[in-house]
Each structure stands twice: as C-alpha cells, then as structure tokens.
C-alpha cells in the first residue's frame, strides 16, 4: 500500500504534511479530537450541570465525616429514645437530625446517607478504572498482535461474558472469606470489608470483557492504517506503537464506555446490596437502606426517599454526562 491514494493530489501541495481538508476561517488549526470534544462539552449545558452534580456527590462522599460532624451525629450510634415502642421515629427532621432518624434503631438518616455515597462512588470508580485499564490493554494486545494471542484473549473474553455474574457475585464471598481464614476468625467489620472488595472485583471482572472486545475491533481496523504501518516500518517498538500510535485514536470509545459504565456500576452495587449479596452492615449503603426502608415507606417516607433520590440523581447525572461525552467525541454529531 502506498502513502496517499493516487487521486489525492489535490490539496497535497497546500498541506503537504497533514493532508487535512481546508478549513473555514476562524477554526483553530490542528485541534486534537480530544480538544474538540472538550470544547463541545464546555458548551453543553446539560453536561455542565451533570458534571457539577457528580462533583457535588464526590465532595459529599469525600467530606462525609466533616458534614456529619457539622450535623453533630454519627453513623453508628443507636438512639432508641428517638423511636417509639413500635420502632417508629418520634419526630421528623430536627436540628440534631437533619433528615430524621432510622426506624427501630434511631440512627441518623443524614449521616447514613452521606456515608452511603462513599461505597457507591468508590466501588463504581475503582471498578470502572480497573475494568477500563484491563479492557484496553487486552483489546490492544488482541487486536494488534493477532495470531494465537488474539485467539486466547478472544476466548477469555467470550468465556467471561458467558459467566453468570450474579451467581459469581454470590459465590465469591464465602470463597474469599475462606481464603482470609474463614468467617470464624473475622470481625464483622472485616467481613463487611471483604464484601466491599469482592464487589469491586466482581464488577471489574465482568466489566472489562465488553470493552476489550470493542477495542480489539477498533485496533483491527486501525492497525492496517498508514501511520501504523509507517511506524512499524521505521522500527518503532511494539509497545510504543500500541500506546503512542493506537491508543490516542481509541480515546473516544474508551471514554464513552467508561462514562456509561460508571452509572451502571452504581446501580449494580445498590442492586446487589438490596438483594443482600452486596455490602452488609456495618458499612452503610444506599441499596441496603432501600431494602429495609421499603417496609417503612408509609411511616417514614424520608428514610426511603433519601437513598432513592441519591441513587437516581447520581445515576441520571452520570448517564447524561456519559451521553454528552459520547456526543462530544462522535464526529458525526453536529449541533
């Protein structure tokens, strides 16, 4: 294959280096696709609002101890005086308990809500990052190296995608507990922590395969492109070709997949905790709270609404932001 097709002589003289088409006046020259996308994002009001919300949630999670201190409560203290003999909270929101207290235990709703943002976000972010890194590396290797590497990785991807993830999530917990010395030697806090890491592991383990498959496909089409061939021809080492030549061209699919994975993981964590196979007490989590609160929604609506709104707003913001990011990176969208 030659550099440039035979009929592409027009314009080559004007732009010998890049062969870029002529641009209208005022458009900056040589902007990278990422820059263009960022510019577009900045003009997208929805994206800005959503990003702000997400940042707010992150701030809430990061400063949870501070916020709770400000309120003057904490997540673990039982306040049975604040619930009546049947377990119903005696008063609604008070200055001491901004969002009221939990039925039965009288623990502070606000504190548990604020702390509940932590596991959701930590799990979603870690799982997304690790899932993305693994997925990208696997996809790059499979697509670029081809041959038996490709066959093995593709097989692994298919294998992972065929595993039932819910069953896997349930089965992992006792196995990991066993590896850590059996449930008899673990404190409740340690057991809760194990659940936390198992959840991260399960989500990233099942998250990378889909991305790897997309990346592999992209790489397959990219690796025959001129600039890659040229880099190979002048003896650029494989690693450099992968990460310097190919990776920048894959930013769009990666960012899109990551931004869509984030809200999915938030929901997955809440869903698994709701079902009782995710996080357990004493780690506060929205999913768990929803599971308990559904029985109390008539008596103590705020108890249910807090985590529900938390999850809904966070997931909605992340999803819309993901959409905006996808649009921004897609050269075909015109606004």
- Min. distance of Cβ 136 from another protein in angstroms? 36
Q: For residue 318, what are its two tokens? A: 């992340």
Query: Measured in whole angstroms, how far is the alpha carbon of residue 140 from the centre of its chain?
Result: 21
Q: How many CB atoms lie within 10 A of CB 95?
A: 7
- Min. distance of Cβ 177 from another protein in angstroms? 9
The residues that touch another protein, with contacts defined as CB under 8 A, are 76, 78, 80, 83, 85-88, 103-106, 174, 183-184, 186-188, 191, 276, 280-282, 288, 291-292, 295-296, 298-299
Peptide bond into 67 cis (omega under 30): no
Q: Exposed e or buried b for every residue in 255-269, given b needs 16+ CB within 10 A?
A: bbbbbbbbbbbbbbb
- Min. distance of Cβ 289 from another protein in angstroms? 10
- Min. distance of Cβ 77 from another protein in angstroms? 8
Which 3 state secondary structure label does DSSP give 89? strand
- Min. distance of Cβ 306 from another protein in angstroms? 17
- Rounded CA separation 236/224 (Å): 15
Task: Sort 233 into a burial class: Cβ within 10 Å, 0-12 / 13-18 / 19+.
Answer: exposed
304/320 with CB nearer another protein:
304
105/249 with CB nearer another protein:
105
101/215 with CB nearer another protein:
101
Q: What are phi and psi of 83, to 5 degrees?
A: -120, 150
If you write DSSP's letter for every residue of 104-146 in order, what string do you get?
TT--BHHHHHHHHHHHHHHHHHHHHHHHHHHHHHHHHHHHHH-
89/322 with CB nearer another protein:
89
Residues contacting residue 211 through CB under 8 Å, at least 6 positions apart: 131, 132, 135, 136, 139, 253, 254, 257, 261
- Report which of 113, 11, 133 is spatially closest to residue 71, judged by C-alpha positions: 113
- Min. distance of Cβ 109 from another protein in angstroms? 15
- Min. distance of Cβ 282 from another protein in angstroms? 6
């Amino acid at each position: 294959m030659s550099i440039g097709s035979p009929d592409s002589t027009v314009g080559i003289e004007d732009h010998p280096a890049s062969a870029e088409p002529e641009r209208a006046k005022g458009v900056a020259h040589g902007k990278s696709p990422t820059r263009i996308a960022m510019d577009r994002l900045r003009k997208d009001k929805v994206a800005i609002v959503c990003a702000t919300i997400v940042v707010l949630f992150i701030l809430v999670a990061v400063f949870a101890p501070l916020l709770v201190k400000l309120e003057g409560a904490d997540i673990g203290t039982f306040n049975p005086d604040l619930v009546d003999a049947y377990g119903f909270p005696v008063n609604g929101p008070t200055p001491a308990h901004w969002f009221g207290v939990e039925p039965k235990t009288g623990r502070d709703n606000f504190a548990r809500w604020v702390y509940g943002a932590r596991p959701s976000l930590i799990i979603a972010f870690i799982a997304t990052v690790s899932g993305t890194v693994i997925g990208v590396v696997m996809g790059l290797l499979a697509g670029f190296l081809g041959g038996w590497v490709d066959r093995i990785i593709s097989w692994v991807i298919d294998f992972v995608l065929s595993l039932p993830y819910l069953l896997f999530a349930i089965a992992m917990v006792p196995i990991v507990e066993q590896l850590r010395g059996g449930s008899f030697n673990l404190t409740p806090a340690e057991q809760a922590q194990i659940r936390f890491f198992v959840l991260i592991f399960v989500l990233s383990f099942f998250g990378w395969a889909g991305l790897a498959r997309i990346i592999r496909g992209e790489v397959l089409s990219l690796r025959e492109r001129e600039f890659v061939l040229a880099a190979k021809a002048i003896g650029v080492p494989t690693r450099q070709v992968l990460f310097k030549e190919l990776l920048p061209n894959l930013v769009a699919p990666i960012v899109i997949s990551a931004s869509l994975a984030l809200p999915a993981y938030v929901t997955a964590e809440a869903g698994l905790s709701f079902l009782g196979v995710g996080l357990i007490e004493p780690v506060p989590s929205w999913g768990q709270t929803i599971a308990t609160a559904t029985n109390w929604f008539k008596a103590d609506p705020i108890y249910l609404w807090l985590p529900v709104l938390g999850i809904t707003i966070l997931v909605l913001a992340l999803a819309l932001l993901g959409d905006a990011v996808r649009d921004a990176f897609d050269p075909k969208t015109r606004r």
